Amino acid sequence: MRIKLLMVFLLLNFVRAPMVQSQDLKQNISAHDPVMMQQNNRYYLYCTGKGITVWSSKDRINWKAEPPVFDTAPQWAVDAVPGFKGYIWAPDISFSNGRYYLYYSASTFGKNTSAIGVATNVTLNPTDSGYKWVDHGMVIQSKVGKTNWNAIDPNFITDKNGIPYLVFGSFWDGIKIIQLKASRLEVEGSTQNLETIASRGDKANAIEAPYIFKKGNYYYLFTSIDYCCRGKESTYKMIVGRSKVVTGPYLDDQGKSMVTGGGKLVLSGNEDWYGVGHNAVATFEKKDYLIFHGYSAKQNGAPKLLLRQISWKNGWPVIEKL
């Protein structure tokens, strides 16, 4: 679930502050719900924003603003989601067979009138002659009174046999997963009675932003819990569970299922960051990184890009302190 404060924070912080040169990879660019992909010697960052916000960097420290993915709001999303005007949430980037796939969300604040779409490109570099995002429209949709889940916060994953899945969800009945067709552009089968793979097990069910990362014999399901976008009152934090099967069940380090409120704490806020969350995970130069945003106490709760290297201990991700 997102609230109107999200747009306020991002609009107020659209103008970039001076870049931070920092060995611990702290960033000083405005970012919400970030994902990152490397192509050749450049990194590309995709975030929530008008038309999907895009940044590029050679070192993951100094960032350059790039044109948004969409100049105008996709018409299918305008038609499907009343009030949608092109402010797109929570993109997810992946690569297969020479094409990049960018999943994204269109939604209505506080409601599960939402939909997930997908666009593809053969390159991420806006200066390449072949650069062009081709939108393929809606992948899945949720509706008020008709679905008990919310079609936002998509993340793409394949299992060990190469079968594609989309994991998504925010509040309502929690995190869902559904198989996609081989094209990655449509769901396989029915969207009725989708199983929940993570939930807080309470009335509020403040859980969202799923991201599945394969490491060794396990799939690791990261999610964000509690509340984003509230400035000093933000309580966002990240948890994780693991499974040997992509569809779950996902258990924490105590053996508790994420469906019933389980989840090992990955990282939470502190005196410098009111809350941290909505993470992705990526591997660069054989090192794994947690990519997420935090609400900066020093900048009045503005959402900022953060990266932390992941170390693995006893089969679980360990993140250095903020």
Determine the pLDDT at residue 321. 78
User: What are 74's two structure tokens?
Assistant: 């996709």
**Chain segment 85-97, per-residue pLDDT in tens:** 899 999 999 999 9
Determine the pLDDT at residue 24. 34
Q: What is the DSSP string of 88-140?
A: EEEEEEEEETTEEEEEEEEE-TTS--EEEEEEEES-S-TTSTT---EEEEEEE
Determine the pLDDT at residue 221. 99
**Chain segment 263-282, per-residue pLDDT in tens:** 999 999 999 999 999 999 99
User: What are 231's two structure tokens?
Assistant: 């400035």
Average model confidence (pLDDT) across the chain? 91
188 is catalytic: no
The least confident of 150-154, 227-231, 264-268, 314-318 is 227-231
Determine the pLDDT at residue 27. 59
| Mean pLDDT of the region 22-36 | 73
Helix or strand holding residue 306 (H, E): strand 302-313
The CA distance from 297 to 199, in Å, is 29
Q: Does domain 5-319 have CATH number 2.115.10.20?
A: yes
159 is catalytic: no
Q: How confident is the model at residue 320 (pLDDT cuts 50, 70, 90)?
A: confident
Q: How confident is the model at residue 28 (pLDDT cuts 50, 70, 90)?
A: confident
Q: Which residue, among 310, 306, 304, has the nearest Cα to 282 in the 3D structure? A: 310
User: What are 103's two structure tokens?
Assistant: 């999943």
Predicted structure pTM score: 0.91
Are 264 and 316 in contact, with CB atoms under 8 Å apart?
A: yes
Catalytic residue among 92, 153, 208, 252: 208
DSSP 3-state assignment of 60? coil
Sequence letter at residue 33: D
pLDDT at residue 176 is higher than 70: yes
Residues 6+ apart with CB under 8 A from 88: 48, 49, 50, 51, 52, 69, 70, 104, 105, 106
Catalytic residue among 33, 92, 153, 226: 33
